[in-house]
Structure 1
Amino acid sequence: MTALKKVWRAHSGPYSMVLPCLVFLALFTIYPLGWAFKYIFYEYDGFSPATFVGFDNFVRLFTRDDLFWRSVWNTLIFAFGKLIVTLPVALILAVILNQKIFARNTLRAIFFMPTIISTAVISLVFYLMFNSYNGIVNKMLLQSGWVDQPVEWLGIDYAIITVILVAIWGAVGNYMVLFLAGLQGIPNDLYESASIDGANRWQQFYHITIPMLGPVMQVIVMLAIVNTLKGYESIMVLTAGGPANRTEVMYLYVYKLFFPISEGEAVVQQYGYGAAVGFVSALIVGVITGLYLYMTRKTAQTN
């Protein structure tokens, strides 16, 4: 106890500032995770007494729940479609807006603006824009003669493309700012030396910018992968996982098990099964992220 008192007296300031964060972390992260992990092995609907079922929830998940594995596949499609466009566009915008151009700060603010707007609001606006019958997108296409009849943007054929486009629009500005932070850490002397040696813009980008951004880029891509695999809010507003489960993603499926949100879903919450599905979903995200970090571990080394 004496040693603890000495440590507290010596570092009471930093510990006092960290303590509120630790309290909130325990209350709103660790405790809920512990609660959910407990009910992985129970059948529980929030009202009736919990019934211990052992590994039955996992047996159901791996043998009888085709919808979950459909949601995993949809999540991978959604993540690939979003990231393959978002990250290159964000990097290009960051490189452009890192130059001394007219209205640079204004353009940065414009591209970053979608990040600070509520996801629900953005999704509702796009829902109205992509409405099949009176949406502005179809009106413009019809008036321009590009299509002869309204396109079912949120229908079976195009729903996944639409939700990917909305996700790209909302995410580009966020990753652009992160890339900008990395670019501003690269010394200008390197570019000046390269210019003197006769290197053009493309050569400077390939031989200086990309290697020097390696450690930062690894972190940015990792955050993008995790956020995309976990994301479901915009899809919930736009399609609620439909039509015909074409846009059902992992964490939206978990959400529905805890809080049924549409007709055709179970009217009773499935907390126990939802906890098991959430655990497996988190494991999938962790494995994908771990594989990415393992395959890109060399980029974390400073060149």
Structure 2
Amino acid sequence: MNNKRNRILAYSFLIPSLLLTLVFGIYPIGWAVRYMFYDYKGYGTARFVGLDNLTQLMQDSTFWNSVVNTFIYAGGKLVLTIPLSLLLAVLLNRSFRGRNLLRAVIFMPTIISSAVIAVVFVTIFNSYNGILNQFLVKYHILPTGIDWLGADHAMLTTILIAVWGAIGNYMLLFIAGLQNIPQDIYESASLDGAGKVQQFRLITIPMLGPVLQMVIMLAIINALKGYESILVLTEGGPIGKTEVMFLYVYKQMFPTMMSGTSVPDQLIGYGSAAGFVTALIVGGITIAYRLASRKLNKVY
């Protein structure tokens, strides 16, 4: 009787989560997979076109440009975010006055909406009257302002903003990992003559192996699927310099949200095909990382 009651209780906790997953996860995926084989603009009758959407996508240079931009954006974000997060974690894991305040300040951007962050940075990086350019010119650091959101600097600007927004989250994960390392190991290494750099290289990094793998995985996924701040900052421009995969999909599915004098058609079928291929790319990269991380398990 008790076993039956426990099973009923367990299922009662599982059912809400399963329903939410079904309604907001599995059903939308199935819906998108279905419409990738149709010519559908969000109204009227959906016309079956088979693999035409996928064929068109394979020949779409704009989409493949967004794929390249995604790798540049994700790579730049990862290269900067992971080392800086680890460095901050090591520094803020020490005991000193104001440590918790600094942790909170650095973590704060991670709980703010990406769109809100982008709006703030638009006023900072505005090419004509932005706060940063006014500062640089006023104090004679540069003779003229920089077009931060122009074709030459837009990608770098979006990467720096993304790093600022993500660094606090990974920093806390690294701090949690550092606090699980026994201090006796460092004391023994110090008695054996190991310096701080040697301790970091031979003790901290290996002992952080599992946390590091998790952080890298999260960072890869978040970097590949990030587009919200880019949408607000540049809308993928100028001339497609910051167009990433998920932003490209978003534009096909929700064109009315984009600026311009005319609103293009809502391409549900084509956008679904682009979303499917994008998911395959992200999934392939994730699987490749998981295979590579097995080697890290052997090392650490």
TM-score, normalised via structure 2 length: 0.95
The alignment status of 1:14 with 2:26, answered yes or no, reads no
Gaps of 5+ in 2: none
Q: 1:279 maps to which residue?
A: 276
Q: Distance in 1 between matches of 2:224 and 2:214?
A: 16
Task: Trace 1:139-150 onto structure 2 (pairs within 5 A).
Answer: 139-150=134-145
Report how far residue 271 of structure 1 moved. Answer: 0.5
The alignment status of 1:299 with 2:282, answered yes or no, reads no
Q: 1:288 maps to which residue?
A: 285
Q: Which amino acid is 1:96 matched to?
A: L
Work out the number of aligned pairs and report it: 298
Q: 1:56 maps to which residue?
A: 52
Q: 2:164 maps to which residue?
A: 169
Q: Distance in 1 between matches of 2:166 and 2:268?
A: 31
Report how far residue 301 of structure 1 moved. Answer: 4.9
Report how far residue 10 of structure 1 moved. Answer: 3.4
Q: Which runs of 4+ in 1 moved over 4 A?
A: 5-8
Report how far residue 98 of structure 1 moved. Answer: 1.0
Contact 1:251/1:278 (8 A) holds in 2: yes
Gaps of 5+ in 1: none
Contact 1:215/1:301 (8 A) holds in 2: no
The alignment status of 1:81 with 2:76, answered yes or no, reads yes
- Residue 36 of structure 2 aligns to a residue in which SS? helix
Q: 1:255 maps to which residue?
A: 250
Task: Trace 1:30-49 onto structure 2 (pairs within 5 A).
Answer: 30-49=26-45
Q: 1:243 maps to which residue?
A: 238
TM-score, normalised via structure 1 length: 0.94
- Residue 143 of structure 2 aligns to a residue in which SS? coil
Contact 1:256/1:265 (8 A) holds in 2: no
The alignment status of 1:200 with 2:201, answered yes or no, reads no
Q: Which amino acid is 1:172 matched to?
A: I
- Residue 296 of structure 1 aligns to a residue in which SS? helix
Give per-residue Cα distances to partners, 1:210-267, cap 9 Å, x unaligned: 0111111111101100111000000000000001010000000000000011327862
Give per-residue Cα distances to partners, 1:163-191, cap 9 Å, x unaligned: 11110110110110111111112111211
Contact 1:215/1:302 (8 A) holds in 2: no
The alignment status of 1:120 with 2:115, answered yes or no, reads yes
Please, which moves more after superposition, 171-180 or 13-22?
Answer: 13-22
Q: 1:225 maps to which residue?
A: 220
- Residue 145 of structure 2 aligns to a residue in which SS? coil
Q: Which amino acid is 2:272 matched to?
A: A
Give per-residue Cα distances to partners, 1:45-89, cap 9 Å, x unaligned: 1102111111111110112x1000000000000011111011100
CA RMSD of aligned residues (A): 1.6
Q: Distance in 2 between matches of 1:77 and 1:295?
A: 20
Contact 1:159/1:247 (8 A) holds in 2: yes
Contact 1:45/1:270 (8 A) holds in 2: yes
- Return closer, same or farther for 1:277/1:8 CA change in 2, 3 Å cut-off: farther
- Return closer, same or farther for 1:276/1:264 CA change in 2, 3 Å cut-off: farther
Q: Distance in 1 between matches of 2:160 and 2:87?
A: 18
Q: Distance in 2 between matches of 1:265 and 1:8?
A: 61
Q: Distance in 2 between matches of 1:294 and 1:266?
A: 44
Give per-residue Cα distances to partners, 1:137-167, cap 9 Å, x unaligned: 0011111222222211111111111111110
- Return closer, same or farther for 1:99/1:184 CA change in 2, 3 Å cut-off: same
Q: Distance in 1 between matches of 2:270 and 2:3?
A: 45
